[in-house]
Amino acid sequence: MIKVLVVDDSALIRKILTDVLILDNEISVVGTAKNGKEALEKIETLKPDIVTLDIEMPLMDGLTTLKHIISKYDLPVIMISSLTVEGAELTLKALDEGAIDFLSKPTNIFSLSQDEIKNEIIEKIKAGAKAKPNIRQSAKKKNIPKPLFEKQTLVDKKFDNIIAIGTSTGGPRALQTLLPEFPKDINASIVIVQHMPPKFTKSLAERLNSISNIKIKEAEDGDILLRGHGYIAPGDYHMEVVKMADNLVIKLNQESKVMGLRPTVDRMMESVSKIKGYSKVGVILTGMGSDGTKGIIEMKKNNSYTVAQDESTSVVFGMPKSAIATNSIDKILPLEQIGKEIVNKLEV
């Protein structure tokens, strides 16, 4: 039985989350708390396996509470975040501090009655309870002053490799470790799917851009892939790469969700696998579920080099494990070695 402590300053949200979680017979809500101070007291007595934690609370806010929980108890924590730019930035800070994942607090709380959202909450709690919160993947803060994107030039368009990266739970911290390993002049363009809602992917792109040698942005429909640039699929949009004349171009769409997801790693990787005339690298990082498994199979069929993050450094080993099980992965590596492996492979 997974014991959950629900922490939120809204009594209604506490009740709704509790009602959703107790629908599953493997989950028990052992208590609730209305602020961080009360939460820390209840952790001592109730001994939960996992905590859901609101970011904005009186007396002690979510970030401060999170730091106490991580340092003293090393419990997995899932943040409950508002769907705003400010909420996205605070959530990314929380993920930096050691939260393993987050759930969006709907602007309309009655939407929590939808089955899809109920299932997401339950699945994240189950995966989170098995996660490894003690993994510390710190960002390599280089604070490189540069514009988000410079004027496109002919030279920027010339590259020989496409790197396709897919990740979910634990992904923001993993990307902060991996992407700064790529040199500014890397002979590749990088496309990334990280499962996140709208606004969050833009904040993530800006944060990654600030610590990386390459330039990183939230992808827009019609973007031309450039050398030394990374493109993160925007929340709620599938992202594909297509060849148009001499360019590789990003296409976004809002076609049906796949396994409840939009964007999906599979759709992105399957599109990359079809592109001729480029060498390709497929990378599956930490994440819940099996998204990316079909995509990595297609990439391998089309002579791509494939890498998966190992279990010891994955916050949740679901996505890498599923991809590895297909026998379509060339190398299984700790996160810290993946960047160097890719760079070495491109230079061969």
- Which residues are catalytically annotated? 168, 195, 291
Q: How many of the other CB atoms lie within 10 Å of CB of 152? A: 13
Instruction: Give the residue from 267, 271, 266, 278 showing the smallest Cα distance to 326.
Output: 266
The H-assigned helical ranges of 274-333 are 293-301, 318-324
User: Does residue 289 sit in helix, strand or coil?
Assistant: coil
Distance between CA 348 and CA 344 in Å, rounded? 7
d(CA 217, CA 206): 7
DSSP sequence for 5-46: EEE-S-HHHHHHHHHHHTTSTTEEEEEEESSHHHHHHHHHHH
Asked if 313 and 153 count as a contact pair (C-beta separation under 8 A), the reply is no
d(CA 266, CA 246): 25
End-to-end CA distance of the chain: 50
**How far is Cα 330 from Cα 284, in angstroms, rounded to an integer?**
11
Question: Strand 50-54 to strand 77-82: parallel, antiparallel, or no bridges (unpaired)?
Answer: parallel
